[in-house]
């Protein structure tokens, strides 16, 4: 007997419901919903999903507390709400910021806090940036468009 999946978006249980990869995770979706979803809607749903599963922080102190109080959950940052430390920006070269789509937010003691677009890259980015800078690295997740906009503004 075949397993019948339920579409995450409309709730239908038709034979054309399948598991696909959208962005950086698998989704259960039917063909009808898949055809109707635009890239902007996928991003919107991704933001909604992230807000449900990540603590939302507004500054480095909140980020530091969220990281120390969480068990592996990466905080979510809206760069529009964040004051970015200008001295920390120059710690990571522009090429690395663009390659990983990340931006340094600030530094507290020997820890550099960065915001990253793809949380799936967190482990490799943490190791690479720690190797480059010598700082301990803590990571938050942010929207790719906003990170790219800040990178363009800072390095122009």
Phi first, then psi: give them for residue 107, nearest 5 degrees.
-135, 140
- pLDDT at residue 54 greater than cutoff 50: no
The two structure tokens encoding residue 11: 């709730």
Average pLDDT, the chain: 75
In this predicted structure, what is the pLDDT of residue 95?
94
Dihedral of CA 18/21/22/28: which sign?
positive
Q: pTM of this prediction?
A: 0.60
Q: Are residues 77 and 144 in contact, defined by beta-carbon separation less than 8 angstroms?
A: no
For the chain, list the domains and their CATH numbers. Answer: 55-154 (3.30.300.160)
CA distance 152 to 47: 22
Confidence of residue 75 (pLDDT cuts 50, 70, 90): confident
Question: What is the per-residue pLDDT across 9-34, written as a single tens digit (0 to 9) for each?
Answer: 777 777 676 666 655 566 777 777 76
pLDDT at 147: 92
Judge whether residue 129 has pLDDT over 90.
Answer: yes
Residue-wise DSSP of 15-46: TTEEEEEETTEEEEEEHHHHHH--HHHHHHHH
The DSSP 8-state label assigned to residue 120 in this structure reads: G
Q: Which two tokens stand for residue 61?
A: 């102190």
């Amino acid at each position: 007997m075949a397993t019948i999946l339920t579409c995450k978006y409309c709730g239908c249980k038709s034979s054309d419901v399948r598991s696909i990869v959208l962005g950086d995770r698998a989704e259960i979706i039917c063909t009808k919903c898949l055809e109707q979803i635009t890239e902007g809607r996928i991003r919107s749903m991704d933001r909604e999903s992230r807000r449900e599963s990540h603590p939302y922080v507004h500054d480095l102190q909140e980020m530091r507390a969220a990281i120390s109080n969480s068990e592996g959950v990466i905080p979510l940052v809206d760069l529009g709400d964040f004051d970015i430390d200008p001295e920390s920006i120059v710690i990571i070269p522009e090429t690395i910021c663009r390659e990983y789509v990340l931006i340094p937010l600030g530094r507290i003691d020997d820890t550099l806090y960065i915001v990253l677009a793809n949380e799936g890259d967190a482990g490799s980015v943490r190791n690479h940036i720690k190797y480059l800078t010598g700082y301990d690295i803590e990571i938050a997740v942010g929207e790719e468009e906003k990170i790219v906009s800040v990178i363009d503004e800072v390095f122009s």
